[in-house]
Structure formats: C-alpha cells, structure tokens
Amino acid sequence: MLLVASTVSGQMSAADAPDTILVFGDSISAAYGMPEEQGWVSLLTTRLTQLEKNVLVVNASISGETTAGGIVRLPKILKVHQPDIVILELGGNDGLRGYPISRIKDNVQQMTDLIADSGAKVLLIGMVLPPNYGKRYTTAFTALFDMVAQENNVPFLPFLLEGTATSQSLIQRDGIHPKPEAQPLLLNDIWPLLEPLLE
C-alpha cells in the first residue's frame, strides 16, 4: 500500500490537520506495470501540492483485487486512515472473471455503505468490459455502477479509461492496463468530480 502526502508547509495544529483522500482500487489505480510515482494517484498528489492543498493521499489499491476482497479489507483501512473522501475503483476484476452481476452490485453497495457510515464522501469509478463478454453481460455490468451511484446520490465516473482504452498507443501489451503516458489523462478525468469534494 502506497502512502503519499501533499500538505502545506509549516507547523500544523490539530485544527489544521490535512484532509485525507483514500484511493481504494485495483491495478488501474495501483500503477500496474510502471513505477508507482508514474501512476495517476501519485500525479494527484503532485497536483494537490502544486495547488497548495492541505491533503494526505493514501493509495490502498491492490492489483487483482475484487469487490469481495475489498469488503474484507475496507473496514480496517477506514478505521486506520479515517479518510474524508474515498475514491472507490473496484469491480473490473469481478467482471473479467464473469462473476454474477447481482453479487458485484451488492458488494459495491456494501463498500459504499461502509464508506458513508464512516463519514467519508464517496467518488465511485465504473468500468467497461471488452465486447467478447457478450452484450447482455457487458451492458448489465456497466449499468450496475450507475445504479449504485444513483441510488446513493454519489459522484460517478462511468469509465476511468475513456479516451485511453480506444488508443492502442496508450495501452500496455496486455491490452488492458494504461501506460505511463495515459496516467495524466486518467487524473484529468477524475479531477472535475474530485475537486468539488475538496471544498
């Protein structure tokens, strides 16, 4: 787990303690296939520093993580870090393994509930599956994230890889994970939804 911080310099009182953003995702947020400092989460820390935002960023993303694994890990992580904002980016590996849609949705909802109960704000990130999984399954998979976002009235980015997945020059040889060159684009997609939560 990567812990990175962006704080305004100088002595801080308890009242000036930094806000905490927890990124809770899979390989897309864990900088798979590249040094961690090149991933979009580290780029987020750099941007917050440049904007002189008093924010701590905790990256608890793990490559290969599923929603079931996320439910197991999340309570302790919320207790330890007490985040103000959680960027929830899980479910892609469930879909790639063909797990039942109802189970994935229930798990995403449980994690959303855990985050809300902790007092943190949720930013939900969705995912899109390759077409070879069949139209019925891929459509239902994409829709489950939108349903959770609407039912809980939380900010929602339908597809983090929009604009990168369609460009082979931005995707690693595995055909799934974005290259370092794509990481600023991922951050730019997330930022318009994240910035209002920082106010």
Q: Are 172 and 136 in contact (CB under 8 A)?
A: no
Residue 164 phi, psi (nearest 5)? -110, -35
Residue linked to tokens 């809980």: 152
As a whole number of angstroms, the distance between CA 7 and CA 121 comes to 20
User: Kind of pairing, strands 121-125 and 156-157?
Assistant: parallel
Selecting among 9, 13, 169, 174, the annotated active-site residue is 174
Active site residue 177: yes
**Of 81, 94, 177, 189, which one is the catalytic site residue?**
177
The yes-or-no answer on residue 113 being catalytic is: no
For residue 182, give the nearest of 192, 173, 174, 172 by alpha carbon: 172
Distance between first and last Cα of the chain = 26
Residues 27, 42, 61, 118: which is the catalytic one? 27
Residue entry with tokens 């339908």: 158
Active site includes 6?
A: no
Residues forming the active site? 27, 174, 177
